[in-house]
Amino acid sequence: MTTTLLFSAGETSGEQHAANVFLELKKQQPALRGIGMGSTKMRAAGIEIAYDSCTIGVIGVVEVLKHYAEIRSALKIMQQLILNERPALVICVDYKEFNFKLAKFAKQHGCRVLFYVSPQVWAWRPNRVEKYGKVIDKMAVIFPFETAYYEAKNVPVRYVGHPSVDKVQPLRSKEQDLALFGLNPQQPIVGILPGSRLNEIKRLLPVMLAAAEKIALQQPHTQFLLPQADSIADEVLQFYLQQSAVQVQVIKQQPYDLMQCCDAIMTTSGTATLEIALLAVPLVIAYKLSPLTYLLGRWLVKIPFIGLPNIMAGKKIVTELIQQHASSENLATEVLRLLHDKQAAQTMRAALQQVKIALGQGGGSINMANLVLEMLEIPE
């Protein structure tokens, strides 16, 4: 009899985590079947996609309200899938509010639930620990300091390692990439990472491109690179790039090779900041939300930083430009500082190396796969 696992991922990063875990599982148990919600990466890993999540990977109160009908429809489809398939284990990956509701439904209907990637209870709403504890069988966390929050409330938890530690591996050497991408190492190379969500692209890419124009005025031979996320269509990017006065080289499916070539990167907040940190490339973080979402966030969030490198370090090592401060002038000024002030750039690289050390040895996907097999009571 085939053992069926149901995966639920609503965003690009979570979908990649789910795909990696399933690929590791198939190495050990080829007969396992995966079904659920995700998109291209999960489909490529062999998971049967019942709902394509490419249009519902949004954050923020206003953004969620705009997509509420789609998100509600997705939840109903996933709930019905649980009733129809009766999976041996439901694996909820990130996408917190949606997956909380799905986990609650799954538990009510007799399914075991493993939640992968904890909500940021250390940043806001720590009371969620107990709420999640009631709807899951185990929480798999990706930061070592997170286990204490769950252990304090007697919620089963395991630290499995951060998946980015293993994932952030360039395909080639930096020298090979410079040659392949046609880059001149004697001239500045700046990365533009506007995010993997459509609303991030709309809010941040025009600002980053305007910053690139200002940088180019000061450093005329600067080379600009942009890694295109799988979730962003060509025409969306080209709409903005065609309006820019600077030439930007778009590179697909090689984000870490692109990152390692850069002297400095301007990026949106999120997992990308940690990936850049793991490669020890100097960066500046920019983020914009709708005014309502931002005001709610300021009220709820209890930590001083949004960037994961700063959160991990417990201090400011990377400049964060939020809301009105995320201007093209401020972005250009910080990037030019990192390009011109070699000591500042080296100090940041050293601090980012410490963040990498704090994240541990990796093995996140393998550890997760072993945890899944343990919960299924299948020998590794």
CATH number at residue 226: 3.40.50.2000
- Residue 292 pLDDT: 59
226 and 282 both lie in a single domain? yes
93 and 213 both lie in a single domain? no
Expressed in angstroms, the distance from the first to the final Cα of the chain is: 18
The span from the CA of 283 to the CA of 57, in Å, is: 25
Query: What's the pTM value of the predicted model, to 2 decimals?
Result: 0.77
- Render each residue's pLDDT in the chain as its tens digit; 380 residues: 789 999 999 888 889 899 999 999 999 999 999 999 999 999 999 999 999 988 776 555 556 566 678 899 999 999 999 999 999 999 999 998 999 999 999 999 999 999 999 988 766 677 889 999 999 999 999 988 889 999 999 999 999 998 889 889 999 999 999 999 999 999 999 999 999 888 889 999 999 999 999 999 999 999 999 999 888 889 999 999 999 999 999 999 999 999 999 999 999 988 899 999 999 999 999 988 765 555 555 545 566 777 889 988 889 999 999 888 999 999 999 999 999 999 999 999 999 999 999 888 788 899 999 999 999 986 55
- Residue 69 pLDDT: 83
Specify if 220 maps to a domain: yes
Q: Please count the structural domains in the chain.
A: 2
Domain holding 246, by residue range, is 174-359
CA nearest neighbour of 312 among 360, 344, 361, 346: 360
127 and 198 both lie in a single domain? no
On whether the CB atoms of residues 87 and 6 are closer than 8 A, the answer is yes
- Residue 34 pLDDT: 97
198 and 343 both lie in a single domain? yes
- Residue 190 pLDDT: 98
305 and 265 both lie in a single domain? yes
248 and 323 both lie in a single domain? yes
- Residue 100 pLDDT: 96
193 and 305 both lie in a single domain? yes
Specify if 166 maps to a domain: no
Q: What are the C-alpha distances in Å from 48 to residues 19, 52, 147, 162, 171?
A: 11, 10, 32, 25, 28
183 and 331 both lie in a single domain? yes
Specify if 169 maps to a domain: no
138 and 211 both lie in a single domain? no
147 and 253 both lie in a single domain? no
The span from the CA of 242 to the CA of 248, in Å, is: 10
Q: What is the residue type of 268?
A: T
Specify if 344 maps to a domain: yes
135 and 185 both lie in a single domain? no
Report residue 161: phi and psi, to 5°: 100, 150
Specify if 278 maps to a domain: yes
- Residue 63 pLDDT: 60
CA nearest neighbour of 375 among 139, 143, 142: 139
- Residue 44 pLDDT: 96
- Residue 197 pLDDT: 82
- Residue 270 pLDDT: 84
Q: What are the C-alpha distances in Å from 77 to residues 5, 73, 217, 349?
A: 16, 6, 52, 46
Specify if 167 maps to a domain: no
354 and 276 both lie in a single domain? yes
Instruction: Express each pLDDT in 65-82 by its tens digit.
Output: 666 788 999 999 999 999
Specify if 255 maps to a domain: yes
The span from the CA of 226 to the CA of 277, in Å, is: 17
- Residue 77 pLDDT: 96
Specify if 168 maps to a domain: no
- Residue 287 pLDDT: 87
- Residue 215 pLDDT: 98
